[in-house]
Amino acid sequence: MEPLEKLARILDEEQFKKVEAIKNSELHRFLAEWIEHLKPRKVFVCTDSEEDEQYVRWKALYYGEEKMLETPNHTVHYDNYYDQARDKANTAILTLNGEKLPFINTKDREEGLKEIKELMNGIMKDKELFVCFFVLGPKNSVFTIPAVQLTDSAYVAHSEFILYRKGYEEFRRLGEETRFFKFVHSEGELDERKTSRNLDKRRVYIDLIDETVYSVNTQYGGNTIGLKKPAFRLTINRAVKEGWLSEHMFLMGVNGPNGRVTYFTGAFPSMCGKTSTAMVPWERLVGDDLSFIIPVNGKARAANVEKGVFGIIQGVNPKDDPVIWKVLHSPVEIIFSNVLVKDGKPYWNEMGVEIPEEGENHSGRWWRGKKDAEGNEIPPSHKNARFTVSLEHFPNVDLEALENPCGVELGGIIFGGRDADTWPPVREAFDWDHGVVTLGAALESETTAATLGKEGVRAFNPMAILDFMSVHLKDYIGNYLRFKEHLRRAPKIFGVNYFLRDENGNWLNHKLDKAVWLKWMELRVHGDVDAIETPIGYIPKYEDLARLFREVLNKEYNKEAYEKQFTIRVPELLAKIERIEKIYREKVGEVPEELFKVLEEERKRLLEARGKYGDYISPFALE
């Protein structure tokens, strides 16, 4: 039987007409195969209409996956107590013949597909299946990647309507030409709190060959929202094959002199200042998480993959995060997940206001001092509690840039990590290769209390993308180095570090100093200020920073603070080169020789400078 005939038999007339209107035989085959396999009680196909989106919102409440809060348009969702983060152990890239890749969890493709099909056989027999169409990137553009999501979770579908641009009409417009991603998700059997029960059978498998992600027995957004991190693995693979960049980067505009706007992307590991940088209130927010960077007519142009934010809520407070705080207290559509609720109001850890002594949270009924089965005290909200909201509600969003089908021209790329003793607060690479290798490929970040294990351990995390890598690291780095060949002028590459400390462990930077580093980078992109050449790149001159601190923060910036922050720490920098070189030689292998050449050149410059100036070099000595 032909797929369309099967679908006519499986679906009711109204839903079949929606599918039939899309003239794509591969889509029909995929839907027929999986609807027949999942065996749902009912199927609802979502078009781009407001009515269909409203139906999904209502079903999230009807099925108990979300509950209404006191503020209009606010709802709360809970995941299982043990289903609160990406499941790294049970997430795998499916590879032919079980090929192993460094730093990546892999599984034999044949074995993985067999297992997932067994787990999902008839799994939706008492449930409603939602078929949803979205696009990654702006519609009808060089960035557009259409995607179809199958899910029995109205919460997952609702989240995607907030986070992504609707794609049903794009599927209709493109017809047989549509090259699309596919996502199949089932939350599986639910418990009395409407959370996934069979977590021992939780799996997230990424099939690069068929560009399909399968996710089962989980509700947590990072495992289930197909177009989020599951799709990220697919786009990294496609980008490396096609010669563009799919990156774990924010996208923002920095306002320069005389009305000029310069756009930057930035990659930071978790808890390193990525969101707070993207949301500096007086700059222009375009995206906080994922960016595509594509060469267009010799220029690097960037676009936000998404149109919403799936953000960590812990620590959001009115003083440090005024923009997010204002949005979270507005009557706009927001899904809060895994927070404390009391009398219809959400509360979260470190929010800067008094938190109730009891209420409901991700553990069920909660009271201060409550412990879990392992004897750990349960905080009011989970450390990975989230909020899901559309970017259009942020007062500083650059909507024109967000929806521009041509994206924005990229002036600079920023890499930042949590580093107590090595990198200065801001610097500029000498050129593309130098930046890719010494700032991107060499990125490390110290672990924090939010990470399991010991604090302060340096974790290797090139381009802040290691958790999502789907190809061999040598191919990913090679693609990055080659990317400049498509450009007449490559974006400048910068490194930042907001976590530098002195010998007594005191912070050398204030939280808001990042606003000054951004302004300096914007000026450097256009050659408006000079810089000091050091063995590791260009650093700001004191006079320029002193002026910017007065202009941006109305703050005096003294020479002593500058000297402490921008001292070149030769022993620590040499030790870092040794660590990075060892990782690439021993754990990665076969990386482009260019990487080792750039590291060796930096080592020679540092040794030469040490011979002249000693181990710790004042920036004033290099002027």
The CA-atom distances, in angstroms, between 71 and each of 242, 335, 413, 562 are: 46, 11, 39, 46
Question: 406 catalytic, yes or no?
Answer: no
Question: What contacts 491, CB < 8 A, 6 or more positions away?
Answer: 300, 410, 411, 412, 413, 525
Backbone angles phi, psi at 226, to 5 degrees: -55, -40
Q: Which of 46, 132, 272, 406 is catalytic?
A: 272
Kindly provide the b/e burial profile for residues 459-476, where b requires at least 16 CB atoms within 10 angstroms of the residue's own CB. Answer: bbbbbbbbbbbbbbbbbb
Q: CA-CA distance, 248 to 76, in Å (whole number)?
A: 27
- CB 444 within 8 Å of CB 461: yes
Q: CA-CA distance, 157 to 131, in Å (whole number)?
A: 9
For the stretch 68-72, contacts whose Cβ atoms lie closer than 8 Å and that sit 24 or more positions apart, written own/partner, are 68/344, 69/336, 69/341, 69/344, 69/345, 69/346, 70/343, 70/344, 70/345, 71/329, 71/331, 71/344, 71/345, 72/331
Q: CA-CA distance, 58 to 55, in Å (whole number)?
A: 5
Residue with tokens 């399991």: 452
Give which of 470, 473, 469, 475 is closest to 207, Cα–Cα: 470
The neighbour count for residue 527, using CB atoms within 10 Å, is 9
- CB 205 within 8 Å of CB 94: yes
The CA-atom distances, in angstroms, between 32 and each of 2, 16, 151, 166 are: 9, 11, 15, 22
Give which of 484, 570, 492 is closest to 534, Cα–Cα: 570
Q: How would you class 66 by CB atoms within 10 Å of its CB: exposed for 0-12, middle for 13-18, buried for 19 or more? A: buried
Give which of 474, 437, 464, 475 is closest to 240, Cα–Cα: 475
**Catalytic annotation, residues:** 272
